[in-house]
Structure 1
């Protein structure tokens, strides 16, 4: 199911990054290159993080950055960045983050199936390894 959205073109593997904004830029690049998001989408995530904190760090080691559809989402998509050495997002007990999955959706409803597929993946220890 996730193969619809995640492929070699949308998955990036890196040893490490210096900062969480750099992680967002690298993670978002495949979506940007594919025209799924506009540059302001990543900017909106960074601004919201600075305003609200790391609202998208959902579990130890896992971040799912996203912004509102009107903040630059042009289509439905996912991109994944896997880091060998995690980076701090300022998320206390959930840091360091080594899996970043950027989600983009052009409206409030079209991403529901995608979220369900991600939840299924994260609930399986075997799949996560």
Structure 2
């Protein structure tokens, strides 16, 4: 189905998966994801507070797709090793996002640096962007069954793991639309390699999701050799903006960036190749 799933499975052990967790609000939802990373030895308690502070400071940009939040913060001493957790909520909660609320899935990341988890983020972006896989993840009855989906398996029954699940009957995970056909316009000249920046608050999480989705569209267009994509944070993006054709980001981060002298394009669903395709067409007027 895809490459690099082994990396994702290693970073997200079955012990870091909880299904049908009850949370009163977004802080409790992030708290549940943070506790799992503490329990599995990836972080200290301080990192959970850092993830909450990230949303308080930068807004709900971590809600990367309808119903999906990607909780994270910058690498810090509170990160003991790179790791992830997965919390599916029993009832959706509001994060304050304009278009992607309410949230039913919180995936958390603790990264020791900005590069070690890149392949795992690419895998996760593709998993959540594939309708069949996203549905399998949303409907998995147990953590073990969900972990099997992450490993590329499609178990018909997760009953090998005992215990109540109270899983919802219908999937609330978003389904990505199909990508339109590539444009007929010629690609940019190779002699002037173009750069597009994908931007988030920290440069280690949501920007990697958007980078992967954009690269999928560029591959489909046959433009990968002409456009390079760089994931970065808001501070670095301001310094690099003059070298870029455009910056792609969330509405919240776009407000933080302000006028950087280059087009700043807002993407609502970071896993949707159809939406990113439309944004790219607008960028190049094709």
Partner residue, 1:11: 17
Partner residue, 2:48: 42
Find 1:23's aligned residue among 29, 47, 52: 29
Mapped to 2, the partners of 1:47 and 1:30 lie a distance apart of 18
Q: CA RMSD in A?
A: 1.4
Partner residue, 2:122: 116
Higher relative contact order (CA 8 A, sep 6+): 1
Find 2:89's aligned residue among 74, 83, 89: 83
CA offset at residue 82 of structure 1? 0.5
Length-normalised TM-score, structure 2? 0.43
Structure 1 runs (4+) greater than 6 angstroms displaced: none
Partner residue, 2:176: none
- Shifted more, 103-112 versus 1-10: the winner is 1-10
Mapped to 2, the partners of 1:95 and 1:5 lie a distance apart of 26
Q: Secondary structure in 2 aligned to 1:93?
A: coil
Contact 1:64 1:102 in 2 (8 A): yes
Q: Which has the larger radius of gyration?
A: 2
Alignment of 1:95-106 (within 5 A): 95-106=101-112
CA offset at residue 97 of structure 1? 0.3
Contact 1:44 1:71 in 2 (8 A): no
Mapped to 2, the partners of 1:29 and 1:44 lie a distance apart of 13
Contact 2:54 2:72 in 1 (8 A): no
Contact 1:31 1:78 in 2 (8 A): yes
Change (3 A) 1:66 1:15: closer
CA offset at residue 78 of structure 1? 1.1
Contact 1:40 1:71 in 2 (8 A): no
Q: Deviations over 1:56-106 (max 9, x none)?
A: 111110100100111622211110000132100111211100010001111
Alignment of 1:41-60 (within 5 A): 41-60=47-66
CA offset at residue 11 of structure 1? 0.7
CA offset at residue 15 of structure 1? 5.0
Length-normalised TM-score, structure 1? 0.92
Q: Aligned residue pairs: how many? A: 129
Contact 1:27 1:79 in 2 (8 A): yes
